[in-house]
Amino acid sequence: MPQPTALCVYCGSNSGTHPDYVDTAKALGAEVARRDITLIYGGGKVGLMGTVADAVLAAGGKVIGVIPRQLVEREVAHTGLTELQVVETMHQRKTRMFELSDAFVALPGGYGTMDEIFEMLTWAQLGLHRYPCAFYNVRDYYTPLRGMMDHMVDEGFVRREQRDNIWFGQGLNAMFDWMGSYEQGYTSKWIDSSSVKA
């Protein structure tokens, strides 16, 4: 596929314990704007979410936030975006972010970040989309998760091809080069026929 036109970034509504997390969010935001890619994200102005959005805006880029109504106050919705879409539920938020995007990356984050990126991995596994999914591995944050994914393959729960379609790494140019050359054909998630009921 060509370079993404709309990159969905999943990341923490907290900033983490090390300045590298914030610095990486700022660098990603600036690069997204430089490449004229629209940022799609969760609509908050706090934590890494706010940092990456502010960096895109500061560099003259376009940002679309999607946030559930019940989180507008809790996550302090960012009112300075190019566009803020308020939806009713978390499910609607995830679906709308997917609809707006053609590539997905997880910066460091917590349960919500894991939930969001893993839903995209599951949808890819089921053939519901063929967009690239990446983990930006700041300070080896995702190294244990990468090991767990490899363990899933070794134990026969995930196909090797589907694990290999996920990018883990650092380096913005490396990530965007990978996304630009990404090609995924569909491989059934079921590893043997006994896993599928007639």
Which CATH number goes with the domain that contains 126?
3.40.50.450
Residue 126: Cβ-neighbour burial (10 angstroms; 0-12, 13-18, 19+): exposed
Does some domain include residue 96?
Answer: yes
Residues 68, 89 contacting (CB under 8 angstroms): yes
Coil, strand or helix at 105? strand
Q: What's the CA gap between 11 and 121, in Å, rounded? A: 16
The amino acid sitting at 74 is: R
- Two structure tokens written together for 178: 């990978």
Number of domains in the chain: 1
142 located within any domain: yes
Residue at 80 is within a domain: yes
Question: Distance (Å, rounded) from C-alpha 58 to C-alpha 44?
Answer: 16
Whether 1 is in a domain gets the answer: no
On the question of pLDDT at 109 being above 50, the answer is: yes
| 57 has pLDDT over 60 | yes
For residue 129, being part of any structural domain is answered with: yes
Say if 92 falls within a structural domain.
yes
Tell me the pTM: 0.93
Range of the domain at 81: 6-173+181-195
Stretch 181-198: mean pLDDT:
63
Note whether residue 112 is domain-resident. yes
